[in-house]
Chain A
Amino acid sequence: MTAYFIRRFLLIIPTFLGITILVFTVTRMVPGGPIERMLTEAQMASGDQVSFQSNNQGIAGSTLSESQLNQLKEYYGFDKPVLESYGIWLKNILLLDLGYSTRYGEPVWESIKQRLPISIYYGFMTMLLTYVVCIPLGILKAIKHKTPIDNISSILVFIGYAIPGYVAGIIVITIFAFYLEWFPLSGFTSNNFDELTFFGKIGDIIHHSVLPLIAYMSGGFAVMTFLMKNSLMDNLAADYVRTAMAKGLEFKTAVVKHAFRNSIIPIATNFGENITIFLAGSFLIEKIFNIDGFGLLGYESLVERDYPVVMGILVIGSLLSLIGNILSDITVALVDPRVRFGG
């Protein structure tokens, strides 16, 4: 077992290398990269100054001198052969030096680090709430199979499954924030957050996070509930439960002590995927609720063509997703001692 996980962790290395090559290629082919961006900015800036000093800079079109351009190219590694600059970039990544944001001028890693807690908060809460709600609901639906409770909740869960999370977000914003005004429209905290007491702060965060959490949960919620329901029903139909019932065990005991433990296994498989969910789908939801997390940073840096940040987010996002996959396997092994990974 240990050997298997060591091998899994070692396999991260080639996969990660592959990802970095891909990311590097994508951003290398990008026109309108940092240098073009700086050029336009310099042009615009000089355009403003033209009225003051029209004769100082004679060169029309390009406002940067040849040497300045070369300096910039050197800074971004565009002057070196592709392989060499890839090597340098990779080395920097391993040292968590993701370069400087062209928009803010601060290190990319700093920007990402600032946003991560918010994304982690939402990711963790989503996961927790999904488990807390879905497992009991799935059990209830399995036991009450084909009763009105099951059918009505099925339709709701189905709709939640069919529409993407951000559309669910739009629905709850429209109803609960805009018309009923029960919850704030957007943001992570109120403007007067710093003045609040400790409990006021907690209340404020909760007040702001109810709607986004509904949006985050809507997709995974349905999958989990049905997974729980179906796997419990499969287990209830299995011979060992029938034997337990034949022995005279109460139905409740048979469910809780026998079927439940086995049916929780597929749920555990889903555990690691949650890590990727709060990264992949999050920029849509963060954009709608204007939450300044990892996803919104990714979206804004893309709009602003802040490529060092874009690359950093791609690299970190992929790394987290790799780790998530392994975490899934570990949880499966922990929940189900029969699972032996190998081969």
Chain B
Amino acid sequence: MAILNLSPLTIKTLKRFRSVKRGYWSAIIIISLILLSLVAEVFVNSRALIVSYEGEWHFPTYGAIIPGEEFGLGYQYETNYRDLKQKFKEEGSDDWVLLPPVPYNAFETDLEAGNYPPAAPSFTKQHYLGTDTVGRDVVARLVYGFRIAIFFSLFLLICNYVVGTAIGCLMGYWGGIFDLLFQRLIEIWSNIPFLYVIMIIASIIVPNFWSLVIVMLMFSWMGMTWYMRTATYKEKEREYVMASRALGAGTARIIFHHIIPNTVSIIITFIPFSVAGGITALTSLDFLGFGLPPPTPSWGELLRQGIDNLQSPWIVSSIVTSMILVLTMVTFIGEAIREAYDPKKHTIYE
């Protein structure tokens, strides 16, 4: 462990975290899901992974679109690789196409002649969870919706924690008028029904990803601020802060080098719950129609479709199952982290 210089205390905490089995495995699964979602195009995409055409290999997944002409199809717009595969098969040529496991993207509508969407799950059509009310593949919507939701909530978390820690530490460290002023401000801010105000704002400006992060930040920075304020208040009175002040350390040094490292357990403990909160908030907004504009793939929109089309159970069941799995795993991680930092030993009477 030469590169990562971990203190014995941190190693102990990590060991305790690993000992909570369900939290540890949830963490592994969730982190893999996040990493895999970064390259979701390889698994769920209408573009082929590899096309072998006249002895030449093409990799269309990333990069510019390849027009149909390139592969001897008579059109200039993007190649339909599913048709191409079909065509090669019928011709019996040496050319071949390797499609992703789910050969649909989140936006294209796949309509069957004579049938109105939503279509039930079908393995032959490779719509493993069926299609939604517009004929888009549910798996693709789920996967790309997950990617948006999780990164939305991660960015929101980072912003919240930066703002919350900065203001909270200063409130606790400076105290006095600054503290009082922000206390009042936070009280006002947190007594307003927050989802409702965001809906009002979202109904005025049609938000995109970043503006929605900023709007949410405006109404959710208070939580972390409050915890950090209390923690800083406690830490400020400890001897080590007094000692470093006596040595001539300035405010910035004391806060960044002494107080924050000592309160990092609070920050880490809250991360999973903030992630879950972020996903939930975005999903709620999308569900009500005040979130990211369509046709952005979104879990909230799928939920809405699911509840409006109960006769197509594959929509509601797949989205609800995904939500339960992801949110429960995130909560398990949170519980394990809390346990790792603050192991509870209970007395049990016989």
Residues on A lying within 8 angstroms of B by beta carbon are 14-15, 18-19, 22-23, 26-27, 29-32, 145, 158-159, 161-164, 166-167, 170-171, 173-174, 178, 230, 233, 236-237, 242, 245, 251, 254, 276, 279-281, 283-284, 287-288, 298-299, 302-303, 305, 310, 313-314, 317-318, 321-322, 325
| B328-345 interface (Cβ within 8 A of A) | 328, 330-332, 335, 344-345
Contact across chains for A280 and B195 when beta carbons are under 8 A apart: yes
| B288-324 interface (Cβ within 8 A of A) | 288-289, 303, 306-307, 310, 313, 316-317, 320, 323-324
Task: Let me know if B156 is at the binding interface, CB within 8 A.
Answer: no
**Across the A-B interface, the 7 shortest Cβ-Cβ residue pairs:** A18-B188, A162-B327, A237-B347, A162-B331, A162-B328, A178-B310, A317-B193
14 additional contacts, CB 8 Å, given A23-B192, A158-B331, A325-B191? A18-B184, A26-B197, A159-B328, A161-B331, A162-B276, A164-B284, A167-B323, A230-B344, A233-B346, A283-B195, A284-B287, A287-B288, A305-B203, A317-B193
Query: How distant is A43 from chain B, measured CB to nearest CB, in Å?
Result: 21
Query: How distant is A38 from chain B, measured CB to nearest CB, in Å?
Result: 18
User: What are 23 contact pairs spanning A and B, CB under 8 A?
Assistant: A19-B192, A26-B197, A26-B200, A30-B200, A31-B204, A145-B348, A158-B332, A163-B323, A167-B320, A170-B306, A170-B316, A174-B317, A237-B345, A279-B193, A287-B288, A302-B199, A302-B203, A313-B196, A314-B196, A317-B192, A317-B196, A322-B191, A325-B191
- List, in ascending order, chain B residues with CB within 8 A of A284's CB: 284, 287-288
Contact across chains for A174 and B323 when beta carbons are under 8 A apart: no
Task: Let me know if B230 is at the binding interface, CB within 8 A.
Answer: no
Query: How distant is B118 from chain A, measured CB to nearest CB, in Å?
Result: 15
Query: How distant is B341 from chain A, measured CB to nearest CB, in Å?
Result: 15
Contact across chains for B276 and A171 when beta carbons are under 8 A apart: no
Name which residue of chain A comes closest to B290, CB basis: A302
Known: A158-B328, A322-B191. Contact between A236 and B307, CB under 8 A? no
- List, in ascending order, chain B residues with CB within 8 A of A159's CB: 324, 328
- List, in ascending order, chain B residues with CB within 8 A of A167's CB: 303, 320, 323-324
Known: A158-B332, A170-B320. Contact between A22 and B192, CB under 8 A? yes
Which DSSP category, helix, strand, loop or mixed, fits chain A's interface? helix
In the bound assembly, the distance between CA atoms of A233 and B284 in angstroms comes to 35
User: Which among B196, B197, B199, B330 has the highest number of chain A CB atoms within 10 Å?
Assistant: B196
In the bound assembly, the distance between CA atoms of A167 and B302 in angstroms comes to 12
- List, in ascending order, chain A residues with CB within 8 A of B191's CB: 15, 19, 318, 321-322, 325
Contact across chains for B193 and A280 when beta carbons are under 8 A apart: yes
Contact across chains for A30 and B193 when beta carbons are under 8 A apart: no
Task: Let me know if B123 is at the binding interface, CB within 8 A.
Answer: no
Which DSSP category, helix, strand, loop or mixed, fits chain B's interface? helix
Contact across chains for A164 and B347 when beta carbons are under 8 A apart: no
Query: How distant is B4 from chain A, measured CB to nearest CB, in Å?
Result: 31
Query: How distant is A229 from chain B, measured CB to nearest CB, in Å?
Result: 10
Query: How distant is A161 from chain B, measured CB to nearest CB, in Å?
Result: 6
Contact across chains for A19 and B188 when beta carbons are under 8 A apart: yes
Contact across chains for B196 and A251 when beta carbons are under 8 A apart: no
Task: Let me know if B280 is at the binding interface, CB within 8 A.
Answer: yes
Contact across chains for B184 and A14 when beta carbons are under 8 A apart: yes
In the bound assembly, the distance between CA atoms of A284 and B196 in angstroms comes to 11
Contact across chains for B307 and A173 when beta carbons are under 8 A apart: yes
- List, in ascending order, chain A residues with CB within 8 A of B284's CB: 164, 166, 284
Task: Let me know if B201 is at the binding interface, CB within 8 A.
Answer: yes
- List, in ascending order, chain B residues with CB within 8 A of A276's CB: 193
Known: A26-B200, A287-B288, A317-B193. Contact between A164 and B283, CB under 8 A? yes
- List, in ascending order, chain B residues with CB within 8 A of A279's CB: 193
Contact across chains for B324 and A162 when beta carbons are under 8 A apart: yes
In the bound assembly, the distance between CA atoms of A178 and B316 in angstroms comes to 12
Contact across chains for B188 and A22 when beta carbons are under 8 A apart: yes
Known: A19-B192, A314-B197. Contact between A299 and B288, CB under 8 A? yes
Query: How distant is A268 from chain B, measured CB to nearest CB, in Å?
Result: 20
Query: How distant is A47 from chain B, measured CB to nearest CB, in Å?
Result: 24
| B187-228 interface (Cβ within 8 A of A) | 187-189, 191-197, 199-201, 203-204
Query: How distant is B205 from chain A, measured CB to nearest CB, in Å?
Result: 9
Query: Of the candidates A18, A166, A280, A299, which one forms a contact with B194 in the assembled complex, judged by CB atoms under 8 Å apart?
Result: A280
| B257-307 interface (Cβ within 8 A of A) | 276, 280, 283-284, 287-289, 303, 306-307
Contact across chains for A310 and B276 when beta carbons are under 8 A apart: no
Contact across chains for A302 and B200 when beta carbons are under 8 A apart: yes
Task: Let me know if B116 is at the binding interface, CB within 8 A.
Answer: no
Query: How distant is B16 from chain A, measured CB to nearest CB, in Å?
Result: 17
User: Which among B187, B283, B335, B345 has the highest number of chain A CB atoms within 10 Å?
Assistant: B187
In the bound assembly, the distance between CA atoms of A318 and B349 in angstroms comes to 46
Query: How distant is A231 from chain B, measured CB to nearest CB, in Å?
Result: 12
Contact across chains for A163 and B203 when beta carbons are under 8 A apart: no
Known: A170-B316, A173-B307, A318-B193. Contact between A26 and B201, CB under 8 A? yes
Query: How distant is B126 from chain A, measured CB to nearest CB, in Å?
Result: 26
Known: A164-B280, A178-B310. Contact between A314 and B192, CB under 8 A? yes
Name which residue of chain A comes closest to B196, CB basis: A298
In the bound assembly, the distance between CA atoms of A145 and B283 in angstroms comes to 35
| B83-124 interface (Cβ within 8 A of A) | none
Contact across chains for A32 and B204 when beta carbons are under 8 A apart: yes
Contact across chains for B346 and A236 when beta carbons are under 8 A apart: yes
- List, in ascending order, chain A residues with CB within 8 A of B317's CB: 174
Query: Of the candidates B184, B188, B194, B196, which one forms a contact with A283 in the assembled complex, judged by CB atoms under 8 Å apart?
Result: B196
- List, in ascending order, chain B residues with CB within 8 A of A251's CB: 349
- List, in ascending order, chain B residues with CB within 8 A of A171's CB: 320
- List, in ascending order, chain A residues with CB within 8 A of B203's CB: 302-303, 305
User: Which among B192, B280, B287, B327 has the highest number of chain A CB atoms within 10 Å?
Assistant: B192
In the bound assembly, the distance between CA atoms of A230 and B339 in angstroms comes to 13
Name which residue of chain A comes closest to B199, CB basis: A302
